[in-house]
Chain A
Amino acid sequence: MALVTSDNRGLRLAARYATLILVALIFLFPLVFMVVSSLKPDQQLLADTSSIRAFLPVGDISLDNYYKAFDRAPIGLFMMNSVGITIVTVVLSILLCSLAAFSFVFLDWSGRGVLLSVIVATLIIPFETIAVPLLLFVSKLPWIGWEGLEFGWLNTYRVQVIPWIVDALTIFLFVQFFKDLPRELIEAARVEGASWFTVYRRIVMPLSGPVLATAAILKSLKMYNEQYLWPLIVVQDEAHRPVMVGLGYFFQLQIAWGEVMAYLTLISVPVIAFYLVMQRAFISSIASTGVKG
């Protein structure tokens, strides 16, 4: 009798793992296919789709597709653009959003209630609904550059950075986090004569590791992965193009799928690697967007 139950338990355990593995295959197969295919010549890539070889690095394996992809498009430039735009935006976003949240939580000033409600209200404005008016708006905006005053932000880095720096969600994440910090600490520092900026820099920021990680991860993903629609409409020149729009170089009449897979692998593997190293932080940052209110 006891033997039967333990057998049953073993069987059930096996069934659970089988389910988990089967589901895992559903999520993994396209990604494995992408990486493996990037190593194969087009002819073999197409032929292999009819067998299990599609997921195995077998046959004529080489890095040729990568070389050809680099020849076809200035991939290095696109990568630098995307990474640069991402880093600058994330740093400025964290700075400005945390400063604003600091002010909303710890300082008492007239108008802050109204301002905070306005910010929270913008949470329900999807970017897609303001893209077109924003396009017209930025095409006329002034800018003071090296050559003096000029008009129009199209085909620049700034048009890809400045509109994305501040968003309600990031401010909101900081506000939620700051609310749970001990106020006595801040008041004690004020009694001792610390300026507000010192309190922000020396007391609040050093305690804000978790929310900084969350804000940085969410913003980085947004800036690197999701910058497609906006640069598509505001950047026509090659010099300022980010990686996702750079994909257009591979849409020829006869699509060279091996090169496409190489490019896709190149631009997504860094993010996957970053995710695998920091997966706990990634997942908890997503989870923290869910516990609103």
Chain B
Amino acid sequence: MSSKLTRSNRAGWLFALPGFSLLFLFIIVPFFFAFWLSLTNQRLVSPNPTEFVGLKNYADLLSVSVLTLEPERDEAGEIRRDDDGAIAYPRVRSITRSDEFPQYRGMREWFRWHWGDKAKVVIASDVVFMKALVNTLTFALFIVPLQGGGALLLALLINQKLRGINAFRTIYFMPVVISIVVISLLWRFIYSGNEGLLNNILEALTFGAFTPVDWLGSTDTALGSIIAMSAWQAVGFHMVIWLAGLQTISPTLYEAAAIEGASKWQTFRYVTWPGLRNTAVLVLIVITMQSFAVFAQIDVMTNGGPLDSTQTLVFQTVERGYGKQDISGGATISVILFLMVLMISAVQAFLTRERN
């Protein structure tokens, strides 16, 4: 009876189709389109027909090699040194531009280290992309514990029974409802060099012992500053997620722990944390995914600089796909980014399956 009542192919499709078609057209189609574009030389506007180029775009982004440079020697076989006593090496350009090594053609130095009196030089076909890749991974690596852990601390802080506690929850959550674009511009001022607000606050708190830092203008601090600001903005979001998790833990478990005479840490370790396992996986995954998608902060605050120290994958996608109208180049980075997301999702699936 009931199956007859609910069975309706026509109505079923009719209700689902408008929504599904939009999703299909604007998410699924461009998704597969990205894979196709990454195999071509498509440009946004071009008089020439688009050609299929196979995996060339991927090779152009991902080729990396290590060169070993022998020190330059004079006629007597002595190692030549410059005025500062540093060992002189042949220039990398003399190899990447030489006809002897066509496989290195067009590659540039990414970084180098010394091995005895030899120098190992890592060359990449696309140094900016490599920096963007490393920065994106660094971003994720630091923001996950900072934001996830910070959010958990806030949730534990808010989960007390105190008068007026809701007011604090409201305040901690407030930056979440403000656009990251607004936050980025605001913090660009707070982070600014000499007369910046943050420098002044730190100087006041340390009674002048703190030396001002050009937070966004120095390669050592720019990425870290953006990570800290991003965590500051979004930590309230995950505080709420942790809170929801905390509230699913049965109070009888806490009572039992209290009767057993468990310390605060023991209660957290053996009651609270096991109860938060699924929440922890979710928070971890969501923050990682968000950090892979960082764009607005970079665009507003640093434009990828100084010296490419804050380049990210999405910023590069846009800079190429839109800025340089190199659609296929942008799409190739998008596909690589998606494969990274897919790996993270696989980790999530694995972590949540293990439990069931």
Contact = CB atoms under 8 A, between A and B. Distances in A.
B34 A133 contact: yes
B351 interface: no
A129 B241 contact: no
B214 to A, nearest CB: 15
Interface of A: 13, 16-17, 19-20, 23-24, 26-28, 30-31, 33-34, 46, 49-51, 54, 96-97, 99-100, 102-104, 106-112, 115, 118-119, 122, 124-137, 139, 162-163, 165-168, 171, 183, 187, 190-191, 196, 200, 221, 224-226, 228-229, 232-233, 244, 247, 257, 260-261, 264, 267-268, 271-272, 274-276, 279, 282-283, 286-287, 289-293
Nearest to A104: B16
Interface of B: 2-3, 5-9, 11-16, 18-20, 22-23, 26-31, 33-34, 37, 42, 44, 154, 157, 160, 162, 165, 168-183, 185-187, 189-190, 195-197, 200, 232, 236-237, 240-241, 243-245, 279, 282, 289, 292-293, 295-296, 299-300, 314, 317-318, 321-322, 327, 330-331, 334-335, 337-338, 341-342, 345, 352
Contacts of A283: 169, 173, 240
Which of B16, B165, B197, B237: most chain A CB closer than 10 A? B16
A291 to B, nearest CB: 6
Q: Binding site of B, secondary structure by majority: helix, strand, loop or mixed?
A: helix
Contacts of B236: 27
Contacts, number: 281
A132 B334 contact: yes
Contacts of A136: 33, 37, 42, 44, 327
B177 A131 contact: no
Contact of A137 (B30, B300, B318, B322): B30
A217 B321 CA distance: 32
The 8 closest A-B pairs by CB, nearest first: A109-B12, A132-B321, A100-B19, A103-B15, A225-B179, A132-B330, A290-B241, A163-B26
A264 B178 CA distance: 10
A20 B166 CA distance: 11
A122 B34 contact: no
Contacts of A16: 160, 162
Contacts of B14: 103
Contact of B190 (A17, A33, A127, A129): A33
B11 A129 contact: no
A189 B182 CA distance: 49
A128 B317 contact: yes
9 contacts: A100-B15, A103-B13, A131-B318, A136-B44, A165-B22, A166-B26, A225-B182, A226-B179, A291-B244
